[in-house]
């Protein structure tokens, strides 16, 4: 399932435009430019507050992704990745269905267990220990998929019970669900419940075999999955992307990670200069 690489005749690279210290106007203009340049996907962090200096602006992911989908026509859009604790999965099912239909099938749902306890404490939102968040993620994916059928759905659940729940219109096709898993357990979970897996460059090759083993044990085919590798470095720093291989030798860099098992890559753009560099790099393909 090649949803993020060349399904739309795009470069096999997506760009995550940062949400922390990002402004809506900057985000949307950057999204427009990257779509025109031919990048595969637009991704956004799912955070509500800054780190350190908490007065910095933060772009809300679903709002900006919806607006970006409306002003583009080819690029995929998705959260990288949505924190399962931030929204009830029934709400997520409705949001994703609407955006998938409105965008012409260009949504990818990236979702994971989250890792921002300070945000949750500030907003009075639950943030249980990791094993409980894993259990919630697995149940949330089940709820979302059940509601994408339209319903009515009745299913018992410790966390998200449904009773005669309906959800129309039905997304056709439903968005792929990519499980963000940076740990060994996350890779195995992705193989069991996801339509794909995302990890970062510092652990991707180590955990890929675990993902593939879990995939096989679940009776799934590798060719039906989407595997993404992310490149963020010190994600909250101001380091430039210009001196990275994705700018200096993008095709060779992609070939290296594709050979390692990735279907697509996601690189982080922090500034307008980063976006400029990415646009310029397309001439080296």
Do 140 and 84 meet the contact criterion of CB atoms below 8 Å apart? yes
pLDDT at residue 5 in the model: 42
User: Average pLDDT over the chain, rounded to whole?
Assistant: 95
Which pLDDT band holds residue 169 (cuts at 50, 70, 90)?
Answer: very high
Domain for residue 113, yes or no?
Answer: yes
Instruction: Round to whole Å and give the CA distance between 151 and 144.
Output: 11
How sure is the predictor about 7, in pLDDT bands with cuts at 50, 70 and 90? very low
> CA of 36: how far to CAs of 40, 95, 98, in Å?
10, 26, 24
Residue 47 lies in a domain: yes
User: In this structure, is residue 58 part of a structural domain?
Assistant: yes
Rounded Cα gap, residues 128 and 136, in angstroms? 10
Q: Give residue 64's domain range.
A: 13-284
**43 SS3 class:** strand
Q: What is the largest CA-CA distance in the chain?
A: 55
The dihedral built from the CA positions of residue 39, 40, 45 and 51, taken in this order, carries a sign that is: negative
Residue 235 lies in a domain: yes
pLDDT of residue 9: 58
Give the residue among 23, 104, 108, 22 at the shortest CA–CA distance from 70. Answer: 104
The predicted model gives 61-77 an average pLDDT of: 97
CATH code where residue 70 lies: 3.20.20.30
Give domain status of residue 213, yes or no. yes
Domain for residue 258, yes or no?
yes
Report if residue 7 sits inside a domain. Answer: no
Backbone φ and ψ of 275, nearest 5°? -65, -40
Within a domain: 1: no
Q: Which strand (E) or helix (H) includes residue 42? A: strand 41-44
**Looking at the 3D structure of the chain, how many domains does it have?**
1
């Amino acid at each position: 399932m090649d949803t993020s690489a060349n399904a739309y005749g795009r470069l096999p690279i997506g760009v995550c435009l940062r949400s922390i210290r990002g402004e809506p106007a900057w985000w949307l203009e950057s999204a427009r430019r990257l779509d025109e340049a031919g990048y595969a996907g637009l991704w956004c962090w799912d955070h509500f507050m800054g780190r350190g200096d908490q007065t910095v602006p933060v772009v809300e992911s679903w709002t900006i992704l919806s607006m970006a989908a409306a002003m583009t026509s080819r690029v995929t859009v998705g959260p990288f990745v949505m924190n399962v604790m931030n929204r009830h999965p029934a709400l997520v099912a409705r949001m994703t269905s609407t955006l998938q239909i409105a965008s012409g099938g260009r949504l990818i749902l990236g979702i994971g267990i989250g890792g921002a306890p300070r945000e949750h404490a500030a907003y009075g939102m639950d943030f249980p220990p990791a094993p409980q968040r894993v259990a919630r993620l697995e149940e949330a994916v089940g709820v979302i998929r059940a509601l994408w059928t339209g319903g009515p759905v009745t299913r018992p659940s410790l966390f998200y019970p449904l009773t005669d729940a309906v959800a129309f219109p039905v997304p056709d096709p439903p968005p792929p669900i990519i499980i963000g898993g940076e740990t060994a357990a996350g890779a195995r979970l992705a193989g069991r419940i996801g339509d794909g897996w995302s990890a970062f460059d510092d652990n991707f090759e180590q955990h890929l075999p675990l993902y593939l083993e879990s995939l096989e044990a679940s009776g799934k085919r590798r060719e039906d999955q989407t595997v993404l590798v992310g490149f963020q470095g010190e994600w909250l720093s101001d380091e430039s992307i210009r001196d990275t291989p994705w700018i200096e030798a993008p095709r060779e860099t992609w070939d290296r990670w594709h050979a390692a098992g990735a279907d697509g890559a996601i690189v982080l753009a922090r500034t307008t200069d980063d976006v400029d560099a990415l646009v310029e790099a397309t001439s080296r393909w």
